[in-house]
Amino acid sequence: MKRRFSLPSLCAAVLLGGFACAPLAAPAAPAAPAASPYANASGIDRGGFDATVRPQDDFFAWVNGGWIAATAIPPDRTWWGVVPELRAESEARQRAIIEEMAARRDLGPDSVARKIGDFFASLTDQSLVEGRGVAPIADTLARIDAIDSAESLAAAFGAAQLLGIDAPLAVGVVQDPGAADRYVPYIWQSGIALPDRDYYLRDDEKFRKIRAAYPGYIAKLLGLGGFGGTPEQGQAVFAIETRLAELHWPAEENRDMKKLYNMVPAAQLASLAPDFAWPRYIDAAGLGARPELMAAQLSYVKQIGAIVGEFPLAAWKDYLRYHALNSAAPWLSGEFERANFEFMQREVFGLAELAPEWKRAVRAIDALAGEAVGQVYVERYFPADHKQAMLELVGNLLEAFRAGITELEWMSPETRAKAEAKRARLATKIGYPDKWRDYAGLEIRADDPLGNLARASAFEYRYQLAKLDQPIDRAEWEMTPQTVNAYHQPFMNEIVFPAGFLQPPNFNMAADPAVNYGAIGYVIGHEIGHAFDDKGRAFDPYGKLQDWWSAADAEHFEQAAAKLVEQYNAFRPLPDMSIKGKLTLGENIADLTGITIAYRAYRASLGGKEAPVIDGLSGDQRFFIGFAQANRASMREEMLRSMLVSDPHSPARYRVLGVLRNFTPFYAAFGVKEGDGMYLPPDERVKIW
């Protein structure tokens, strides 16, 4: 089942009312953890280095090459490294918390702990679904069977959002980019099951192989569900998805908020996109009383009626059946689970093994009701002194950014003053929310795993819709506390760092300050940088889409950004695939900004003195090693291909190389000279912030 829909191109992407968890039993004593490779005087894992590589030629390989050569990606993971290792640790911690909830017998049926325990128990008990075929999703399939017209098809598209399955249009709720003081609903292109439009359209041998096998997978699911499953049906559904993909905007275009911000009165939808039963769709999606909405990809929305008319109703019903089956397959009986794994996990992403039930259950609960676990998580794993230390670090980075703004030679005083005003209002959230989400209305049954997923998905969707009548909630979080990630939210002008991310080696209270600044300092700077990257710079201090740049300053920024686009376009992670410099521009600007202000903050922390030499490394050298070490990762080729067509981040290796080649203090720290692999001529180095 899907997680709630959010504006995917603009935010990384839980909270009101409180609940009081009954005290949990004391946790069992954990097994002794393996010795950390970072637990030494410098906080650096020298064992992961590759001594056959010079740091002046390939800094990423010098720091991480030995680790990559010696480390296998776990069979149920698409990639491995610092972040997925921390995610595995977070999942194990969540499992322990949830299993304690599940073991409780003294909780009332309406307690949150009881609900989470029952949710987990239902998702990990295969006997509840084995041998039952599609019976656990019979209600959803019956609704699809009842479709008998284009009008009822439009209603089914709207209702799909409540059921947690894909349809050609998805609905979300967002702070109005043009007003900043209200929420508005929006519709977004959707409806394809492969990871990105390029899987349907790109002339790539690997993608052609996936396309050749995909109709067979569609037909197999339809057959297992009792809906025929002929090759013709598989091809018909594939044809619908291909047509949708042809009209989808590419990922890089979905980063432009000015193009996405299209407010449309509900009364004008029929004239905007004729031949589509908008009233039925809007009503089924729960938006019947809304006077207007944001139509994100306007050219796509205009075609929705024509798309529906291109294919017979029977093909559309098979399309919806397939999406219902594909969404539910990991939780149905074994034949569905195996079919889904063999194609969607092994063929598309290269996984060698299916993740065990407990991991999948933990991830589902985190996505749909995660704050119920997060409240206990932070009590156990995020001490108050960690939060205070992070607040001080963020303050240091924000001061470093302020100092940097004052020194910008290319920016006019007027624009500089506005940039400072935005920096001064940038809000910071550390660890966990101040208010916890209320799950009182969520119905969970211990014997109904698919029903629990559907009800949790509908509960989340209704929670989002309920915002439409409320003032902006600036205390809300878009990630759970146990999430190993961080994000910038342009609509709120805020940066957010969940507790799950603030663990060694990302954030190590005992580590050398140089390494900490290079690791977590860079991440903090990165998120600050997003407020001033190519899309973040379009928002004012209050999160409103507003141009506050002079024409000359905007031109300078765009010229520097264009140079960065070309640099990253030249990187080829695979022989037949390059990085999309335009798609990854925002992350690349944030990376460059992050290292710039983290380094400035680190140097300021020394108070004019030089750092001590530790393990034969200067403070500056340890800073840059900390940065490269924090980006340590290895990825399966299938996942790398998916990343290159749809992910706004550059692969880890090129995040390190791309940044350091542009950052002159790195040259001094490691004696990089002309002719070295890391060298860029001074006039080609990009400096924005």
Instruction: Look up residue 167 and give its two tokens.
Output: 């349809």
507, pLDDT greater than 70: yes
- C-alpha to C-alpha distances, 118 to 108, 313, 358, nearest whole angstrom: 12, 39, 13
Instruction: Choose one of 368, 398, 415: the last residue of a domain.
Output: 368
Higher per-residue confidence, 469 vs 604: 604
CA 86-87-88 angle, to 5 degrees, is 90
Q: Are 161 and 5 in contact (CB under 8 A)?
A: yes
Confirm if 511 and 623 have CB atoms less than 8 A apart: no
Which CATH number is 527's domain given? Answer: 3.40.390.10
Report the pLDDT value the prediction gives residue 506, as an integer from 0 to 100.
85
In this prediction, residue 8 carries a pLDDT of 44
What is the distance between the alpha carbons of residues 652 and 510, in angstroms, rounded to a whole number? 25
Indicate whether 260 and 395 sit together in one domain: no
**Mean pLDDT computed over 304-314:** 97
Q: How many domains does the chain have?
A: 2
Q: Long-range contacts made by residues 637-643, C-beta under 8 angstroms, separation at least 24?
A: 637/350, 637/574, 638/78, 638/206, 638/348, 638/349, 638/350, 639/78, 639/79, 639/349, 639/350, 640/573, 640/574, 641/204, 641/206, 641/207, 641/574, 641/577, 642/195, 642/196, 642/348, 642/349
In-domain check, residue 79:
no
**Is 334 inside a domain boundary?**
yes
Please give the pLDDT value at position 533: 94
Residue 117 inside a domain? The answer is: no
pLDDT at 98: 97
Residue pLDDT, tens place only, 634-687: 999 999 999 999 999 999 999 999 999 999 999 999 999 999 999 999 999 999
**Is residue 243 domain-shared with residue 320, that is, in the same domain?**
yes
Query: Checking DSSP bridges between strand 292-295 and strand 263-265, what pairing results, if any?
Result: antiparallel
Going by pLDDT thresholds of 50, 70 and 90, the confidence category of residue 509 is confident
For residue 214, the model assigns a pLDDT of 98
Look at residue 386 and tell me whether its pLDDT is greater than 80.
yes
Rg (CA), the chain: 25
- Return the bridge partners of 189, or none: 169
Statement: residue 16 has pLDDT above 90: no
Provide mean pLDDT across the span 326-350: 97
Residue 21 has a pLDDT of 31
DSSP state letters, 123-164: HT-GGGTTT-TTGGGHHHHHHHHT--SHHHHHHHHHHHHHHT
CA distance 591 to 608: 26
Instruction: Name the pLDDT band for 225 (thresholds 50, 70, 90).
Output: very high
3-class state of residue 85 by DSSP = helix
Tell me what pLDDT residue 6 has. Answer: 46
The whole-number pLDDT of residue 1 equals 38
Rounded Cα–Cα distance for residues 50 and 521 (Å): 25
Residue 335 and residue 401 in one domain = no
Strand 292-295's sheet: what is its strand order?
169-175, 183-189, 292-295, 263-265
Q: What percent of the chain is modeled with pLDDT above 70?
A: 94
Contact in structure between 425 and 474 (CB atoms under 8 Å): no
| Co-location of 581 and 677 in the same domain | yes
187 and 319 fall within a common domain: yes
Q: Helices 522-530 and 384-406: crossing angle, nearest 10°? A: 60
Range 154-178 average pLDDT = 94
Using alpha carbons only, what angle is made at residue 165 by residues 310 and 323, rounded to the nearest 5 degrees?
Answer: 55
pLDDT at 109: 82
Q: What pLDDT was estimated at residue 5? A: 35
First and final C-alpha spacing in the chain:
41
What SS3 class is residue 429? strand
Give the CA distances from residue 345 to residues 123, 341, 368, 523, 537, in Å, rounded to whole numbers and listed in that order. Answer: 19, 5, 22, 30, 37
Is position 155 within any domain?
yes
Q: 144-160: per-residue pLDDT in tens?
A: 999 999 999 999 999 99
Alpha helices in 382-412 (DSSP H): 384-406
**pLDDT computed for residue 28 by the predictor:** 37
Pair (301, 239) in one structural domain: yes
Name the CA dihedral angle for 86, 87, 92, 94, rounded to a multiple of 10 degrees.
120
The reported pLDDT for the residue numbered 393 is: 93
How far is residue 549 from each of residues 10, 218, 418, 479, 582, measured CA to CA in Å? Answer: 20, 50, 8, 31, 21
Answer yes or no: do 572 and 526 share one domain. Answer: yes
Q: Is the pLDDT of residue 20 over 70?
A: no
DSSP state, residue 17 = S
For residues 527 and 578, membership in a common domain is answered with yes
The mean of the pLDDT values for the chain is: 92
Residue 39 has pLDDT above 80, yes or no: no
User: What pLDDT does 38 receive?
Assistant: 62
CB 137 within 8 A of CB 328: yes
Element (H, E) at 603: helix 585-605
Look at 21-35, 46-60, 174-188, 337-351 and tell me which has the smallest mean pLDDT.
21-35
User: Is the predicted pLDDT of residue 469 greater than 60, yes or no?
Assistant: yes
171 and 213 share one domain: yes
Give the C-alpha separation, 671 to 676, whole Å. Answer: 10
84 in a structural domain: no
Question: Each residue of 404-440: pLDDT tens digit?
Answer: 999 999 999 999 999 999 999 999 999 999 999 999 9
Confirm whether 681 is domain-assigned. Answer: yes
Model pLDDT, residue 41 = 57
SS3 assignment for 165-204: CCCCEEEEEEECCCCCCCEEEEEEECCCCCCCCHHHHCCC
Per-residue pLDDT at 434: 94
3-class DSSP string for 502-567 = CCCCCCCCCCCHHHHHHHHHHHHHHHHHHCCCCCHHHECCCCCECCCCCHHHHHHHHHHHHHHHHH
Query: How would residue 164 be classed by pLDDT, with cut points 50, 70 and 90?
Result: confident
Beta strand 169-175 with 183-189 is antiparallel
Q: Average pLDDT, stretch 565-588?
A: 97
Q: Is 54 inside a domain boundary?
A: no
Lowest mean pLDDT among 18-22, 204-208, 314-318, 541-545: 18-22
pLDDT of residue 541: 95
The pLDDT of residue 4 is 35
Sign, CA dihedral 47-53-54-57, equals: negative
Q: Is the peptide bond before 505 cis (omega within 30 degrees of 0)?
A: yes
Strand partners, 614: 617
Residues 6+ apart with CB under 8 A from 265: 291, 292
Say if 384 falls within a structural domain.
no
pLDDT score of 161 more than 80: yes
Residue 30 has pLDDT above 70, yes or no: no
State the average pLDDT over residues 222-226. Answer: 98
Contact 432, 378 (CB under 8 A): yes
The answer to whether 592 touches 564, Cβ cutoff 8 Å, is yes
Task: Tell me: do 406 and 271 sit in the same domain.
Answer: no
> Which uninterrupted H or E stretch holds 93?
helix 82-103
Residue range 465-490: mean pLDDT, rounded: 95
Residue among 634, 377, 686 nearest 503 (CA): 377
Residue 288 neighbours by CB under 8 Å, 6+ apart: 282
The 10s digit of each residue's pLDDT in 550-572 is: 999 999 999 999 999 999 999 99
* CATH code where residue 307 lies: 1.10.1380.10
Residues 280 and 411 in one domain: no
Whether the per-residue pLDDT at 11 is higher than 90: the answer is no
Check pLDDT > 80 for residue 35. Answer: no
Query: What gap in Å lies between CA 305 and CA 586, rounded to an integer?
Result: 34
Query: What is the reported pTM?
Result: 0.92
pLDDT one-digit tens code per residue, 236-250: 999 999 999 999 999
Q: Are residues 304 and 414 in the same domain?
A: no
pLDDT, position 372 = 95
Residue range of the domain that includes 190: 135-368
**Residue 172 phi, psi dihedral angles, 5° rounding:** -145, 180
pLDDT of 13 above 70: no
